[in-house]
Amino acid sequence: MKKNEWFESWFDTTYYHSLYKNRNDDEAKRFIINLVSQLNLKKNTSVLDLACGKGRHSITLNELGMSVTGVDLSENSIQYAKKFENNTLTFQVKDMRFPFEEDKFDYVFNLFTSFGYFDNFDDNKKVIEAIKIMLKENGTLVIDFMNSEKVVQNLVKSEIKEEDGVIFNISREFDGDHIFKHISFEDQKESFKFTERVQALSFKHFKTLLIDTGFEIIHSYGDFDLNPFNVSTSDRLILIAKLK
């Protein structure tokens, strides 16, 4: 029997959504508005929101006139997102490593560090190759990732957060390839432990991966206001890449 990867089990729990419930939706909306303006997206542009979570970016894109398909591996997240579906906004459960064979999109968005989760680095190329298949000719990919080099340099080793009456004990470490986030807590007299593991991919990693797969990076930004990327000071690594 295939062993579930860490994100398959953790992302589908209510505890995951409790811990991250205070993500800034206003900030996410501002980011999408900035992107739509910067990319000059027209009404009815087709967008695939890859690893969409509960759909907050998808919903804003749709409100701005885009035709959006949101996909995520978490059944619970998609079940929640489906409440917002309409004629130009749909959601479904899907593994990002496997493409739609027929549907093609003008843009693919992969936002909020929804990349580099896999055990095998080769799976990164599978994702980019799947995206390539799902893009129309001259289509565009937008990746929003953490600035891993700054994160590693300023790694918060431990912290405690309380959400929904649950106290989460969080510790972090870096092994040279991955950033680990260990999360432990108790609820209803039961103990839980989860570990998030994300590859510490740098600009150079993404550049090699994208070029090898037939993309060209045309812009790089360092925050949600789309200021230029700086490896030392930027919080985000936001890449705009077009199919050659």
Q: Is 23 helix (H, G, I), strand (E, B) or coil?
A: coil
d(CA 142, CA 119): 23
Domain architecture of the chain: domains with CATH: 6-147+201-243 (3.40.50.150), 151-196 (no CATH)
**Dihedrals φ, ψ of 133, to 5°?**
-65, -35
Element (H, E) at 208: helix 203-212
- Please check whether residue 72 is in contact with residue 94, taking contact to mean a CB–CB distance below 8 angstroms: yes
**CA contacts within 13 A on the Cβ side of 127:** 23
Residue written as tokens 């289509």? 139
**Dihedrals φ, ψ of 71, to 5°?**
-130, 145
The pLDDT of residue 2: 45
- Please check whether residue 82 is in contact with residue 116, taking contact to mean a CB–CB distance below 8 angstroms: no
The pLDDT of residue 4: 64
d(CA 28, CA 52): 12
Q: Is 191 helix (H, G, I), strand (E, B) or coil?
A: strand
Output the DSSP codes for 43-76.
TT-EEEEET-TTSHHHHHHHHTT-EEEEEES-HH
d(CA 155, CA 148): 10
- Please check whether residue 163 is in contact with residue 14, taking contact to mean a CB–CB distance below 8 angstroms: no
Query: Could you read off the pLDDT tens digit of each residue along the chain, which spans 244 residues?
Result: 445 677 878 888 889 888 987 776 888 899 999 999 999 999 999 999 999 999 999 999 999 999 999 999 999 999 999 999 999 999 999 999 999 988 899 999 999 999 998 878 899 999 999 999 999 999 999 999 999 999 999 999 999 999 999 999 999 999 999 999 999 999 999 999 999 999 999 999 999 999 999 999 999 999 999 999 999 999 999 999 999 8
The pLDDT of residue 1: 41
